Amino acid sequence: MPFEIARVYYILPGDGEPRGFHAHRALEQLMICVAGSCRIDLDRGAGRVEHRLKCPDEALFVGTMTWREIHDLSPDAVLLVLASHHFDEADYIRDYDAFLAEATIAHGG
């Protein structure tokens, strides 16, 4: 593990709408689709990279200052998220343009 786990939670398909659409300044996460499948798009400010999780032996590390979007959760999906910090609303960046401005500074661009 690249960090000490402070919080564990699950993301379920719910109403079928995509999830995420935010970045974190300090939080790191490890995402594991323990059932079903999903697509996770990550963006560090220089374009999006698509990742598909479809089995429980795959994990996706999501570092700081990374915009994340969770799409295509299958009806049986259970996305396990291991987080480096407890919930802190101040750590969230929920506006993509604000994220791009901060990411440019954070990633030295």
CA dist 53 and 34 (Å) reads 9
- Residue 53: CB atoms within 10 Å: 20
Active site residue 22: yes
Q: Kind of pairing, strands 38-43 and 92-93?
A: unpaired
Residues with active-site annotation: 22
